[in-house]
Structure 1
Amino acid sequence: MRQAEPDLFIHAGDTIYATTPLQAEKTVEGGQVWRNTLAPARTRPAQTLEEFRGCYSYNLLDEPLRRFNAEVAQVWNWSDHEVTNNWSPTKDLGPWSDYTEKQVGILQACGTRAFLEYAPMRWHAQDEAERIYRRIPYGPLLDVFVTDMRSYRGGNSSNLQARESTDTAYFGNAQVDWLLRGLKASRALWKIVSLDMPLGVM
């Protein structure tokens, strides 16, 4: 992809896989054995700030990725694996024996902090220091609106609610208002809305 010399790369999330520890060896299709370089932070699911940071620093051991990062402008979004698989505020980690930290709020705090430290983005003002959603003007032709479909959502469920409530929340009212105002006010010819999950109209 780097050799295509892109002007911009928009990462739609899963910048790390904090849930999945690495194995020293893994047999892949065709019987070939893949051997991983191991690091302490990648031997169990990330549960501390240092382990989440370690997931990002581990990725940077890859020299082609470092070259790509050095040459291509990037906009990062996040999804679930920056914290844990399919996380929401009500995720129950009790049955997961490989997690000693059972409070998803702790994982979210550590995962958020590590993401903000490694993502190529400016932090917001102190009152919203951990805000992910933002608008990035990219010259007169393009505005990129990066959304956050994780931090403000209700708990994961079967999604069979008969009416709108906090259980059906996805973006949060403040983010929806921000996005609608921003799209309406934008004078850019092109507007990209970065989402980590599909968005439909009902």
Structure 2
Amino acid sequence: MTTNETVFFRDTKPFDVLRTDVLPAAALRARALGRPVRIWCAASSTGQEPYSIAMIVAQMEAQLAGTEVQITATDYSAATIARARSGIYNQFEVQRGLPVQLLLKFFEPVADGFELLPEIRRRVTFEEYNLLHPFPASWQFDIIFCRNVLIYFDMPTKKDVIDRMAKLLTGGGTLFLGGTESTLGITDSVLRVQRHAAAVFCRPMELALHEHASNAA
């Protein structure tokens, strides 16, 4: 079971944590290794979530000190992916969660509403993909967004998806779930970082590292 419900900067807290804590830390690690930061938005629907992240990255370019950020966004629906790639949203959609200053900065009016500028669209790679299928062996991510998706799965499927995602996280990697989603009673392959207001998870052996970084932020 799936849903296409999505808005820009949904719930806000995860994006605040991404901006102030998670992304700067991931960029520091990636820069030391001479590679890009890799972010995956699972079940990205019509693209508001990955484009929200792309706008944050664009605003943080100076802070990221030239570190490349690659955003992969996936959804099971080819039609939804095509819609996301267009980067065009109607008046109702841009009024849901998108700050006016970002609308003015990163969009331009078109006949059907508002179109994201190429500089934002090209930051995101959209792919058709079903979370229930095995993940490609080459996948490794510093940050995974899988928010408000697991609530539609039964318990065994939730455990399977979370466990497989945990294996994709790089050292120090972070998993974002929805604000009402929890792994308690499902799996211990990831643990919640208690210092964060958002639903942020990491692998158990790295919990102390994440909480120390959160305290320092």
Same fold (TM over 0.5): no
More helix by percentage: 2
More strand by percentage: 2
**TM-score grouping bracket, smaller chain normalisation:** under 0.3
TM value normalised by structure 2: 0.26
Structure showing greater radius of gyration is 1
